[in-house]
Amino acid sequence: GVLPWADKASAELRASGERMAEPARAPRQSLSPQELQIAQMAASGLSNREIADRLFLSHRTVGAHLYHVFPKLGIVSRSELARALASLEPALTR
């Protein structure tokens, strides 16, 4: 079957020093609770400073969280946040 070949390929890959790719995680699973909260607030139209004031954080901390959120959601701009979060909504209610 296929399993012996897969095991052999994995062993040879490890022996060559290559690392196996991490299994893909769903975007929702990769967001921390604080990243999700900040993303939702930003998607609702709040600025980094407004979010920071409400959560008692630095606006730079808010920016850092959003910097990590964007690639996790596969987006490049703040205007895409609402759409990306809406597509995750079914996962949020599970």
- pLDDT at residue 3 tops 70: no
Please report the pLDDT score of residue 42 as a whole number.
98
Q: In angstroms, rounded to a whole number, what is the distance separating the alpha carbons of residues 43 and 85?
A: 8
Query: Residue holding tokens 């964007």?
Result: 70
Q: For residue range 12-58, what is the model confidence (pLDDT) as tens digits?
A: 777 887 765 554 455 556 899 999 999 999 999 999 999 999 999 99
**Domain coordinates of the chain in residue numbers?**
27-92
Chain center to CA of 62: 15
Helix-then-strand count for the chain, H and E:
6, 0
List Cβ neighbours of 36 (8 Å cut-off, separation of 6 or more). 28
Q: In angstroms, rounded to a whole number, what is the distance separating the alpha carbons of residues 2 and 15?
A: 20
**Quick one: CATH architecture of 27-92?**
Orthogonal Bundle (1.10)
Q: For residue range 47-57, what is the model confidence (pLDDT) as tens digits?
A: 999 999 999 99
List Cβ neighbours of 30 (8 Å cut-off, separation of 6 or more). 72
Query: Residue holding tokens 């609402």?
Result: 82
